[in-house]
Every structure is written in structure tokens, then in C-alpha cells.
């Protein structure tokens, strides 16, 4: 119980992420395109599987969504599977929805619609959660830590890596290793319980893993405060070094929003990220997708990207060596 699918168009990603954050803070598991879809695999097949596995669908209705054939297919698919809807209208009134999308009108039937006013989404998110609970869908029980490289990866990625595991072990690969981490001020960490520190850092680590997978990297190791990702093994591309940097920049951009939310609570989040390109020997790939490897010729960093907290959000420093 507690799996919620969020249907939206790419143009409404910021609105969707605000809803996803609210759902996850309430204990629900949110699924959306940017988080779970594997590039190169049929979009419709993966969306269909996600809808079949969800307990309810939050439908983000905006002017852009009303013109989307993909959203319409998702609505019809959920209706055919009798998945309950929570429609959230932003910049649209119910009459417009009924006029523009007769297929939606039939699928939604007498479903109550939540309309966002001038206050934006924030006041509406508790109502979304109340609507989900009214359907008898309760949040999942919280666990202290179940995050592993396997649990953070889309299912298709996990299957692909494990299918190549035996042939990969012992091989030499030219890769780019990305290390990213987040931390709270030491004075604050000392005052908090370890579980509270974990709860504050977990959303940041989830964001890191999502962006690594978006650029088809592999999360090799996960820690309580960050991760190590490999670009070039087992999924190899000619531009793996660029993908690692794009992932690092995407992590920095997305964590900016989370930093602001922590600041509103009087807390600060520091981010560090470094990327190094070189030759490695893959020693082993575990069942949980953790990867052990031996660096070959990585004594000096050929490329290091470091974010500094003292710089504005859109600035970063390249340090080159050797």
C-alpha cells in the first residue's frame, strides 16, 4: 500500500516535484516519469506497468496537460484498470477540463476535483493526502534504511546490470567515477539523533541516484551521506565523461530547492561532488549492484568538478591536474 503515480507533462515538472515531495514527507511512495523510466525502453510499456502497480493516480491538470496525448492514454489506462484518481487543477477550471477532454470526463466521472487557488500548490497538498487516505490508502511503514544501489535503480537497469555481471567482472574499463555527498553542519549533526540526520539526508541521496540513472550511470556504492557512481560500466557510451558532469550539475540544480526548504527550517546543506576519468579493473558486482573495482592509473585527478558552498548556486570551479 502507499504507491502513488503522478501523471503530468514535462513542462509541469516543478509542480509535480512539489506534489511528490509532499506525498513522500507523508510516507507515500511517489512514482513519476523522471524518476523511474529507463532511456531506450518503451515509454508506454513502462507507464503501463507503473499504473498497474500503483494504488492511486494523482492527475496534474494544467493547460499543457490538456493537450497531451500521453497523459490522455495514462488516464484511460488507469480508468480501465479501475485505479482511483485525485485530479489537481492548476490554471484550469472544471468546465474547461470537461470541454477540452471528453475522454477524461468519462474516466473521472463524479470524482471530486481539487482546484489550486492563488496560494499555489502548498495549501492543496494536504488535501491531496486527505483524499488518498479517504480512499483507504495508508502510507508505507517507515524504515530506517533500506537504500542500496539495487533499490535505487529502475528494475530494467538492475536486470541489465545483473545479466552482464559475469562477463563484466575482471574486465578493464575506461570510466568516469562520480562521487557526490551531502552533509549538515557538524554542530547540528551532533545535536540530532542519527535517524533524524538520515531522514534529512535521504532526500538528497535519492536525488543524486535519480540523476545518475537519468544519464545512464551506475550507482556503485551508497553511503549514509552520499554515493559513488560509475559512468562507462556496465552501460558504456562515447560521452560517459560528459554524462558524469551533466549528472553532477543536475544534482546541484535539483538540490537547490531542497536546500531552500532546509533553510526555511534554520538548517543548511553542503554539497560536494568530484569526477575522475581513468582506467579501472572491475573486481566484482554484488547481487545488490554494489561494485568493487581497482583504479588503474588514477593517481592524479584528470578532471575534478567541485562545488563550493561560498559560490552562488550557478557557479562552480573546474580543477585540472596531471
**How does pLDDT run across 157-196, given as a tens digit for each residue?**
666 667 767 777 788 888 899 999 998 988 888 888 888 8
The answer to whether the CB of 296 falls within 8 A of the CB of 172 is: yes
Measured between alpha carbons, how far is 27 from 36 in angstroms, rounded to an integer?
18
- pLDDT band of 152, cuts 50, 70, 90: low
The answer to whether the CB of 8 falls within 8 A of the CB of 15 is: yes
pLDDT at residue 58, rounded to an integer: 93
> For the domain 3-134, what is the CATH code?
3.40.50.10140
Q: What is the pLDDT of residues 252-278, one digit of tens each?
A: 888 887 888 888 888 888 888 888 888
Cα dihedral 72, 76, 77, 83 sign: positive
pLDDT at residue 153, rounded to an integer: 59
**190, 238, 256 from 261: Cα distances, Å:** 21, 37, 9
- pLDDT band of 126, cuts 50, 70, 90: very high
pLDDT at residue 278, rounded to an integer: 86
Q: Which of 54-58, 59-63, 204-208, 287-291 has the lowest mean pLDDT?
A: 287-291
State yes or no: cis peptide before 206, omega within 30 of 0.
Answer: no
Q: Which residue has the cell 524504515?
A: 143
| Planar angle of CA 279, 285, 286, nearest 5 degrees | 155
Helix pair 13-25, 125-134: axis angle to 10 deg: 60
Write down the domain spans for the chain: 3-134, 149-319
- Of 257, 268, 67, nearest to 185 by C-alpha is 268
pLDDT at residue 133, rounded to an integer: 92
| DSSP code per residue over 39-82 | TTS-HHHHHHHHHHH-SEEEEEE-HHHHT-HHHHHHHHHHHHTT
pLDDT at residue 124, rounded to an integer: 92
- Of 292, 291, 288, 255, nearest to 272 by C-alpha is 255
Measured between alpha carbons, how far is 9 from 138 in angstroms, rounded to an integer?
26
User: Which stretch of DSSP H or E encloses residue 282?
Assistant: strand 270-285
Whether the predicted pLDDT of 40 surpasses 70:
no
Q: What is the pLDDT of residues 200-229, one digit of tens each?
A: 888 888 888 888 887 878 888 888 888 989
Same fold, 3-134 and 149-319: no
Measured between alpha carbons, how far is 230 from 276 in angstroms, rounded to an integer?
10
pLDDT at residue 134, rounded to an integer: 92
Measured between alpha carbons, how far is 179 from 156 in angstroms, rounded to an integer?
23
pLDDT at residue 111, rounded to an integer: 81
CATH fold group of domain 149-319? Alpha-Beta Plaits (3.30.70)
Residue 322 burial (CB count, 10 A): 9
Cα dihedral 215, 220, 222, 225 sign: negative
pLDDT at residue 146, rounded to an integer: 40
Q: What is the pLDDT of residues 130-143, one digit of tens each?
A: 999 999 998 865 44
Which grid cell sits at 315? 557557479
Residue 251 burial (CB count, 10 A): 25
Q: What is the pLDDT of residues 277-316, one digit of tens each?
A: 888 888 877 766 667 777 776 543 443 334 333 334 444 4
Which grid cell sits at 160? 541489465
Question: Which of residues 264 and 319 earns the better pLDDT score?
Answer: 264
pLDDT at residue 309, rounded to an integer: 36
Q: In what order do the strands lie in the sheet with 218-223?
A: 218-223, 226-231, 172-183, 270-285, 291-296
The answer to whether the CB of 230 falls within 8 A of the CB of 216 is: no
Amino acid at each position: 500500500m502507499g504507491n502513488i503515480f503522478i501523471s503530468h507533462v514535462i513542462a509541469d515538472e516543478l509542480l509535480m516535484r512539489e506534489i511528490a515531495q509532499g506525498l513522500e514527507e507523508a510516507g507515500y511512495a511517489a512514482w513519476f516519469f523522471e524518476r523511474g523510466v529507463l532511456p531506450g525502453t518503451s515509454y508506454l510499456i513502462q507507464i503501463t506497468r507503473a499504473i498497474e502497480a500503483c494504488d492511486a493516480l494523482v492527475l496534474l491538470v494544467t493547460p499543457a496537460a490538456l493537450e497531451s496525448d500521453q497523459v490522455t492514454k495514462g488516464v484511460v489506462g488507469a480508468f480501465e484498470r479501475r485505479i482511483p484518481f485525485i485530479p489537481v487543477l492548476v490554471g484550469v477550471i472544471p468546465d474547461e477540463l470537461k470541454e477540452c477532454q471528453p475522454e477524461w470526463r468519462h474516466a473521472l466521472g463524479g470524482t471530486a476535483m481539487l482546484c489550486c487557488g492563488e496560494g499555489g500548490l502548498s495549501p492543496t497538498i494536504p488535501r491531496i493526502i486527505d483524499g488518498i487516505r479517504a480512499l483507504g490508502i495508508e502510507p508505507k511503514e517507515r524504515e530506517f534504511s533500506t537504500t542500496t544501489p539495487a533499490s535505487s535503480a529502475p528494475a530494467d537497469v538492475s536486470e541489465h546490470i545483473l545479466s552482464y555481471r559475469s562477463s563484466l567482472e575482471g574486465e578493464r574499463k575506461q570510466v568516469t567515477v562520480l562521487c557526490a555527498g551531502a552533509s549538515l553542519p557538524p554542530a547540528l549533526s551532533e545535536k540530532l539523533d542519527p535517524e533524524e540526520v538520515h531522514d534529512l539526508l535521504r532526500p538528497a541521496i535519492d536525488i543524486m541516484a535519480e540523476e545518475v540513472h537519468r544519464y545512464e550511470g551506475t550507482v556503485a556504492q551508497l553511503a549514509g551521506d552520499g554515493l559513488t557512481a560509475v559512468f562507462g560500466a556496465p552501460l558504456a557510451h562515447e560521452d560517459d565523461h560528459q554524462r558524469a558532469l551533466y549528472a553532477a550539475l543536475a544534482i546541484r540544480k535539483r538540490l537547490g530547492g531542497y536546500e531552500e526548504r532546509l533553510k526555511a527550517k534554520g538548517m543548511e546543506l553542503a554539497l560536494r561532488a568530484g569526477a575522475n576519468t581513468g582506467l579501472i579493473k572491475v573486481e566484482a558486482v554484488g547481487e545488490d549492484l554494489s561494485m568493487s573495482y581497482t583504479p588503474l592509473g588514477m593517481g592524479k585527478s584528470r578532471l575534478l568538478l567541485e562545488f563550493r558552498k561560498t559560490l552562488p548556486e550557478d557557479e562552480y570551479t573546474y580543477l585540472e591536474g596531471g
